[in-house]
Amino acid sequence: MGPVDVHSPAAEHAAELARARKDIVRIATAGSVDDGKSTLIGRLLYDSKAIFEDQYEAVARASKGDHVDLALLTDGLRAEREQGITIDVAYRYFTTPRRTFVLADTPGHVQYTRNMVTGASTADLAIVLVDARRGMVEQSRRHAFLASLLRVPHLVVAVNKMDLVDWSEEVFDRIADEFDAFAAKLSVPDLTVVPISALHGDNVVRHSPNTPWYEGPTLLHHLEHVHVASDRNLTDARFPVQYVIRPQTDGHHDYRGYAGTVASGVFRVGDDVQVLPSGLTTRIAGIDGPRGPVEEAFAPMSVTLRLDDDLDVSRGDLIGKPENAPTATQDLDALVCWMAEEPLRPRQRIAVKHTTRSVRAVVKELAYRLDVNTLHRDREAPELGLNDIGRVRLRATQPLFVDDYTRNRVTGRFILVDEATNATVGAGMLTPAG
Amino acid sequence: MTTPDYRLSQLETLEAESIHVIREVAAELERPVLLFSGGKDSIVMLELARKAFAPARIPFPVLHVDTGLNFPDVLEFRDKRAAELGVELIVASVPDAMARGVVREEPNGSRNRIQTPVLLDAVEEHGFTALFGGARRDEDKARAKERVFSFRDEFGQWDPKNQRPELWDLYNGRIHLGESIRVFPLSNWTELDIWQYVLREDIAIPPLYLAEEREVVERQGMLYAVNEFVRPRDGERSFRATVRYRTVGDANLTAAVRSEATTVADVIAEIAVTRMTERGATRGDDKVSDAAMEDRKKEGYF
């Protein structure tokens, strides 16, 4: 690195960057094997100048054939290079003047669907890649469905390898229409379809002269402008207690604070609050943020609440508002994505982790198994196998404080853990009973 | 009255996420420890841990695996910072382990690999069940694959093909006796985020990170400061250059970069325009093979 001019203006710029309220946008990519996903990510990173010279040189050295294989930027594990596939989620970062992106590169192979769910669980936006020559295949449907199931608010279909179908507008329109029809059956609030060539970079960062008929945004332009700020729930105040802070030192003899992350909504000093499960009410005496006391806290801030009264509050309890409480229930109706070889069966015992509360539960009923291609509900299914999704009723040993996943992504979700192996075996999204 | 927009800055978002992870570990795992070397990432880690439990003390000790080849400045900083925060500092020494015959010096002079058994011994001796590390996913492609809660078997090994699915921020910290979880609260931070946070929070760092005129030798295109671990070899000539460090690993293997950055803000301005990764620019040891980091991690390295 050569010396650069770093004095005043640049230093001011640095300070400005540190204060900037840039959004962090989390993206999950999905697509079938060989749809060119790794190449697309390599292209996004390369064209947005997120690739460093030494990384690029390493990839150039490792590339076989006459062009630099950008897919090697993401397929980093030995087994992935041997087999030419992506095995596990990789997280990549890139920044543009407008936004910072966290990109979860998730595998397309069917046996790794649980990793697609892993990558999509935190995403604001999902990109499903489709090979223009093959159109929608089982995996594209599965991934679009998973994105909708996980309530990823924005879906982008990137129709790739347009160069191999002579940049045909007709092919593109057919795939877009097919996707529209499928998406209508799901809950996809926002769908965008872009024709691209990841290998050559068309419509990824720059508009392509090869698609004069396409008037929409490039992929990157869309990623930079899609409206994500409104996707949070700022209405329902929910604060799962994570950790009780009691210093018991001379300086802070009486300090008792409830630390946690605001799941949703807004809490202000002086607000009347209710603690679940006790149902006791009190007021917020103070809120301590990472830099000292603040007047209010909103999702997803990590703060410590101090209360007016000395109540018995511990990890797993939930602080909310008396007039707007979550549902306290031991009966959990949920769509479950099963992630283990050993199937999920009725009467099975299992551990549930929901916000900061861990309880044991028993599987009361498997209502149906869902065919993710046809969305058909098989009510006769005896079990859920690896990568199956189905509607399940669980009975927990203690109440959980829940909302429907459609209303609140934080209080509406849980994981299932096998108590014998300690493996994470399922992901659940709560739905209204019935 | 204007409507509040209820948005966090990029750094506030990352900070909130990291504090959530740190508290989750303290709440769920029996005996956590934070790996603290005095380097910039672990300094930020320690600061986040302080904030997570304030005004109480950090409820776990910190551990440093001392290779015996560390920059004296950094060790001094390590001791001072631990004392200021009132946390217990445990040092596991590689030279001690060599003296006891537990590990042997490798011919290439790198103590990267032999740190691993020393770390694992310390984990066993103290019964640690969770180890916080300052690793970031932007550092290396093997790290890009790792979970925030990374399950390790009783040998401390990482199996990239058999990781626990990690959904939302619901981390699974359940383990059997002897197993452990490596925890990476800084997973989603980049080098630039770390520096911007150091600036924003006015966090003290060892002076090695800032440019100063130092006596250096050039080796394989990289500049190494002359110190008790680096002496000019035959045919090498030392000279004065203004340099700083982007990472601080072992003094015999960590190279400096030419720089005029004498303040943290200057460092940020330089990093914002650099075209080299911090490891590519400064670490001889990662160039052994394309999968050097993955191979070390499988053995129990961070």
In which residue ranges of chain A is pLDDT below 50?
A: 1-8, 77-78, 83-86
Shortest distance between the Cα of B278 and any Cα of chain A, in A, equals 10
CA distance A417 to A352: 6
Among chain A residues, the shortest Cα distance to B265 is held by: A11
Which of B212, B242, B211, B238 lies closest to B227 in space, CA to CA? B238
B254 has a pLDDT exceeding 50:
yes
Contacts of A424 in chain B (CB under 8 A): 164-167, 172
Write down the residue that tokens 């209010």 correspond to.
A296
Interface check for A56 against chain B (CB to CB < 8 A): the answer is no
Shortest distance between the Cα of A92 and any Cα of chain B, in A, equals 7
CA distance B61 to B88: 5
| Complex ipTM value | 0.89
Contacts of A90 in chain B (CB under 8 A): 137, 141, 144-145
**pLDDT value, residue A6:** 39
CA distance A45 to A403: 38
Three-state DSSP at B120 gives: helix
To 5 degrees, how large is the angle CA A427–CA A432–CA A433? 100
- Closest partner CB to A422 (pick from B55, B175, B266): B175
**CA–CA distance from A428 to each of A374, A397, B50 (Å)?**
21, 17, 33
**pLDDT value, residue A187:** 79
Shortest distance between the Cα of B165 and any Cα of chain A, in A, equals 6
User: How high does pLDDT run on average in chain B?
Assistant: 87
Establish how many alpha carbons lie within 13 A of residue A116's alpha carbon, considering only the half-sphere containing its beta carbon.
31
Check CB contact under 8 Å for B269 and A13.
yes
For residues A114, A117, A119, A125, the Cα torsion angle rounded to the nearest 10 degrees is 160
**pLDDT value, residue B122:** 92
To 5 degrees, how large is the angle CA A345–CA A347–CA A349? 90
CA distance A206 to B99: 60
**Prediction pTM value:** 0.89
Shortest distance between the Cα of A62 and any Cα of chain B, in A, equals 9
- Sign, CA dihedral B15-B20-B21-B27, equals positive
Where residue A265 falls (left for φ over 0; alpha for ψ -120 to 50; beta otherwise) is left
CA distance B280 to B261: 19
CA distance B9 to A191: 27
To 5 degrees, how large is the angle CA B282–CA B285–CA B289? 120
Interface check for A420 against chain B (CB to CB < 8 A): the answer is no
- Percent residues over pLDDT 70 in chain B: 89
- Closest partner CB to A415 (pick from B56, B172, B257): B172
CA distance B69 to B92: 13
B143 has a pLDDT exceeding 60:
yes
Check CB contact under 8 Å for B199 and A14.
yes
Contacts of B58 in chain A (CB under 8 A): none
Where in B201-294 does DSSP place strands (E)? Answer: 212-219, 222-225, 239-244, 257-258
Q: Which residue has the higher pLDDT, A39 or B187?
A: B187
Shortest distance between the Cα of B185 and any Cα of chain A, in A, equals 14
- Closest partner CB to B196 (pick from A18, A351, A427): A18
Which of B72, B49, B69, B30 lies closest to B132 in space, CA to CA? B49
